[in-house]
Amino acid sequence: MSRRYVEKVVKLILLAALLCFALLLAWAFQSRSMPALKIWHTTTLQSEFHSGDATVGYVFADYLIQEERLFAELEAQIVFQVDPSPQVRYERYKRGGTQNPAWSSSNWNRTYEMIPDRIKGGALLLHGLTDSPYSLRRIAEILYQRGFYVLALRLPGHGTIPGALTDVSWEDWRAASRIGAKQVRHRIGDKLPFFMAGFSNGGALAVTYALDAMSNENLPQPEQLLLFSPEIGISPFAKVANSQKLLSFLPYFAKFKWLSIQPEYDPFKYNSFPKNAAQEAWELTDFLEKRITAAHSAGLLKIFPGVLTFLSWQDSTVYTSETIQRLYSYLDNDDSELVIFDVNRFDPLVPFIPVANASPLLKLKANADLPYRLTVITNVSGVSQEVAEKTKPPHTAAINTRLLGMTWPPGVYSLSHVAIPFSPDDPVYGNGRAVGTEYQGLPLGALSPRGETRLLIAPVDQLMRLRYNPFFSYIEARVEEEISESLYLVQ
């Protein structure tokens, strides 16, 4: 190789590096136009759990003690520092405010347990990124009402301040989920069924844990996974999100840590989103993809737990196609099912929905040898807004149809990532018709503001996004079926 050729290659590399840095610098300068940072963006809470805390002998009780210290720190460092003036009326950190999550019955941002009088099984619930244990509260109640001991775990970096997600790793979430799983198995004994349920990022963690448990005899194996909008694949741009660290350590570019800075009026979910959270989510999905591929090659997925997944055909947070390709296409048993909520295929709406021509049934029914049961919740026909269940059993091309007696609500053209696990009567994210609830704050699921664009400080797309699942009763029935089947098998 000639010296002249080497010099040319070096120059090209330096030029590419310079161009990348110039783009990064431009991105950093653009971030300075974002809203001002508040103390809940910049404060570091010292009591948060990290994977390094899980030393020998560290158990669930220790996790709760540490969480107690964390929320005491949250009160001292954040809540008692917030100006109680009318300008912060709807901030979640205002003492005694309508959006403050410290309800009289419980703060659903924290880890909680539901313990029936007679325990018939156990379940560990893992929430999504920027969410809290509240997001699976209704699923927890369904399991509890059928005799399951339920542990809804608050994952590290969540339920407190969005700034906590700037100093968290996916390994912290993984370590916490192991502590939770061991607690559930300890609480229910060796013979009762053990479920894991995960929403979004929690879905990825549930699958990761189940894979870990197959090769680690110290981890109790779940018999069933319940996944809601699982985060199996996300945008590849998240892979480079933490490139911000090259500049964001400078106070001048402090906002560069954030993808969005928004008012925090949601009591159980952060609205602001740091780049580190995106990076860690991508790291988790990348790790998971490699683990699934390796497990499939080793033939281990033949003994993998049954997986029941509910997701929206259109999802702007995670890639639905990746759940199909990276997870379900590898499953080697017939005990799993994928339930897809289709878009509203009512003929008058179709011209306004570019993806309406892409049907999940049309894409998947051509394969007569799917190793799982496929169910699509979709319109009975193009001239009706009534929905039906269209099911294709494993290893067959036959499609069975069952009317559900449910219709699309007026104005709803699809479900969404965040809507899947929430019932219409949820007091926070439901349709605004909930009665007898202690929540007196904004009905976030029912907000439908009208006016000029770019006037509100909250993004219009956030306010328009469907926050509840109008077909949640179908999910409830299907989860109860899984519970009944598991309890029958242990009798």
> How high is the pLDDT of residue 385?
94
- Dihedral sign for Cα 294, 297, 299, 302, please: positive
Query: What is the value of pTM for the model shown?
Result: 0.94
Q: Which two tokens stand for residue 217?
A: 């005899």
Q: Which two tokens stand for residue 227?
A: 């996944």
* pLDDT at residue 360 in the model: 66
Query: Using CA atoms, how far apart are residues 224 and 331, in angstroms rounded to an integer?
Result: 14
For the domain covering 11-332+343-357+398-489, report its CATH number.
Answer: 3.40.50.1820
Low-confidence ranges of the chain (pLDDT < 70): 1, 5-7, 9-10, 84-88, 356-365, 490-491
Span 413-467, pLDDT tens digits: 999 999 999 999 999 999 988 877 888 888 999 888 888 877 887 887 788 899 9
Give the DSSP per-residue string, 356-401.
Answer: GG--HHHHHTT-TT-SSEEEEEEESSTT--EEEEEEE-TT----EE
Give pLDDT, residue 365: 66
Taking a C-beta distance cutoff of 8 angstroms, is the pair 292, 326 a contact? yes
Domain ranges across the chain: 11-332+343-357+398-489
| Pick from 179, 159, 196, 151: nearest CA to 53 | 179
* CB atoms inside a 10 Å sphere around CB 90: 17
Let me know the angle formed at the C-alpha of 311 by 309 and 317, rounded to the nearest 5 degrees.
125
